[in-house]
Chains A and B, each alone.
Chain A
């Protein structure tokens, strides 16, 4: 794909997007392997054990989303700041450093699957913390890359112009980089270790990432619907206040059962109950603006994925989260397939959708400012089917896991009292097993969706004539 007409930040963004999609494919591939191993425990045993496939599945997801976020920020950086990117060479160096580190870490995960739990292992093989298994050397590399990224963003805005979006974005990147450090020191106490580990996992996902996608959503609405800057900026401030107001202390819902003081039950329960409020506000705002603009967009696939984001975030994070967030019920559900169900729907709905939307926004310019509307030569069947299959696949997996998780919570936890007997009784129960089979079926539906998505990303807009339709904010209907 030619990127000759793009600015420096956008060319770098396309590199990030390319790796992001490759890792997205890897995530789904290893997800399929992990799902299969649930059903056929001997599958690839001794070659690629479940703990390895699951580690690669989850780490690939976190890293591809990070690549997508970083790429999206680089994409909008020069346009938003109205100046050339500062430190582009350094940014390119950080991209290659990050990518080489990711490749080495994945290869080591696959090649060195067993070993002692000593300092050498922690530094060079696997840190052992779930979701952030990257060894210490890679941790340091990631921090260096994120600092370079932060320098690119902050220095560019300081040289150019600030805006509401860029101000929120820059402050959020301080938290994004800083909180990662909480997962980088060793402690012998599992409660203390878990306490800090959740700072990375929860505060990234339910605070800094949510704010970051709020910035991307604001920018995306301007680009696709032509919503005015004033409106999206005002809403961004409101959503950030609500997100941080509920999301930071919502951290308490992870502190219920790890040995922390009892007051976390109260704090976590209360603030977790508040967490869906910004999501409801976002849905109403999206519907309001879509209604005002009569759903008139210049980039149908991007707009469709933005709508999928608003509703996916609401259902995945809001509904699926609140169903089991109060300690009275979380006592039975935490760590079961119920959590996996929530995780699948929330990560896809809140994050994967917006990264895909941003990639479509970028591709429209890459392919020469073409309108991605009804005038696509093939009628846009590939993006529509990809959207449908990916959403159907993930929703199907989430419901299948929900059924398995419900059975686990009931039989293993409530009836069996969290004993080994309870665990194995739940694992062989027909409801659990059938749920796992259905998860596998919908996993393949998701895989077909990603094949179509990649095909569409490689081909969309390549064969139609430039006919960009400019949607300007002045087309806003009076209210």
Chain B
């Protein structure tokens, strides 16, 4: 069920694990920043980050013996991190798409009633 990491792969597991999150965040950040600033060239860097993420996930999967059920975790990570920035961006745009003047001020007394 569970095959521990080998000694020679210790550092590889830690480093690739960190790179999964770092590259995932960088991909999401560059994706959002590229759209926000209308800089298409930055989108290339975003997808380059995703490629680094892909390599990091595969390296982690290999070094940590992520086989069987754990292989699905690898697939979920790759798909999740690929699609998440698109979803986050859509949410950002949707939540910011409010007409001027319809927003509450910080000290606005108008609050949403919870049903």
Interface residues of A (CB under 8 A from B): 79-80, 82, 161-164, 166-167, 222-223, 226, 228-231, 233-235, 238, 262, 265-266, 269-270, 273-274, 276-277, 280-281, 283-285, 287-288, 291-292, 314, 318-319, 322-329, 331-332, 406, 409-410, 414-415, 472-474, 476, 479
Chain B hits for A415, CB < 8 A: 7
Residue B80 at the A interface, CB < 8 A?
A: yes
Least Cβ–Cβ distance between A286 and chain B, in angstroms: 10
Least Cβ–Cβ distance between A6 and chain B, in angstroms: 15
In the complex, A79 Cα to B5 Cα: how many Å? Answer: 53
Contact between chains at B106 and A226 (CB < 8 Å):
yes
Main DSSP-derived SS at the A contact region: helix
Contact between chains at A326 and B64 (CB < 8 Å):
yes
**Residues of chain B in range 13-35 having any CB-CB distance to chain A below 8 Å:** 13-14, 17-18, 20-22, 24-25, 28-29, 32-33
Q: A230 with B111: in contact, given A270-B73, A284-B28, A284-B92 (CB under 8 Å)?
A: no
Least Cβ–Cβ distance between B86 and chain A, in angstroms: 11
Chain A hits for B100, CB < 8 A: 474, 476
In the complex, A274 Cα to B85 Cα: how many Å? Answer: 14
In the complex, A287 Cα to B35 Cα: how many Å? Answer: 12
Chain A hits for B93, CB < 8 A: 479
Contact between chains at B104 and A228 (CB < 8 Å):
yes
Name which residue of chain A comes closest to B77, CB basis: A273
In the complex, A283 Cα to B106 Cα: how many Å? Answer: 22
Q: Per-residue 0/1 for B55-93: is the Cβ within 8 Å of any A Cβ (1 yes, 0 no)?
A: 000000000111001100100110010001100110111
Chain B hits for A163, CB < 8 A: 111-112
| Residue from B17, B80, B92 within 8 A of A326 (CB atoms) | B17
Contact between chains at A323 and B18 (CB < 8 Å):
yes
In the complex, A420 Cα to B65 Cα: how many Å? Answer: 28
Least Cβ–Cβ distance between A355 and chain B, in angstroms: 20
Least Cβ–Cβ distance between A337 and chain B, in angstroms: 14
From B20, B21, B91, B104, residue with most partner A Cβ within 10 Å:
B21
In the complex, A331 Cα to B4 Cα: how many Å? Answer: 7
Other CB < 8 Å A-B pairs besides A274-B80, A331-B2, 6 of them?
A: A230-B95, A262-B1, A280-B21, A280-B84, A283-B29, A318-B25
Contact between chains at B2 and A474 (CB < 8 Å):
no
Chain B hits for A223, CB < 8 A: 106
In the complex, A326 Cα to B77 Cα: how many Å? Answer: 13
Name which residue of chain A comes closest to B87, CB basis: A281
In the A-B complex, list the 4 residue pairs whose CB atoms are closest, starting with the nearest: A163-B111, A228-B103, A229-B104, A328-B64
Q: Can you sample 20 A-B contacts with CB below 8 Å?
A: A80-B111, A163-B111, A164-B114, A167-B114, A226-B106, A229-B103, A231-B98, A270-B73, A283-B25, A287-B33, A323-B17, A326-B64, A326-B66, A328-B66, A331-B5, A473-B106, A474-B103, A476-B96, A479-B36, A479-B96
Q: A319 with B80: in contact, given A82-B109, A162-B113, A474-B100 (CB under 8 Å)?
A: no
Contact between chains at A322 and B4 (CB < 8 Å):
no
Contact between chains at A329 and B103 (CB < 8 Å):
no
In the complex, A276 Cα to B20 Cα: how many Å? Answer: 10
| Residue from A162, A231, A266, A479 within 8 A of B69 (CB atoms) | A266
| Residue from A161, A235, A319 within 8 A of B21 (CB atoms) | A319
Name which residue of chain A comes closest to B108, CB basis: A229
In the complex, A299 Cα to B73 Cα: how many Å? Answer: 43
In the complex, A437 Cα to B54 Cα: how many Å? Answer: 37
Contact between chains at B13 and A265 (CB < 8 Å):
no
Chain B hits for A476, CB < 8 A: 96, 100, 103
Contact between chains at B98 and A228 (CB < 8 Å):
yes
Least Cβ–Cβ distance between A472 and chain B, in angstroms: 6
Q: A322 with B18: in contact, given A162-B111, A327-B2, A479-B96 (CB under 8 Å)?
A: yes
Contact between chains at A322 and B20 (CB < 8 Å):
yes
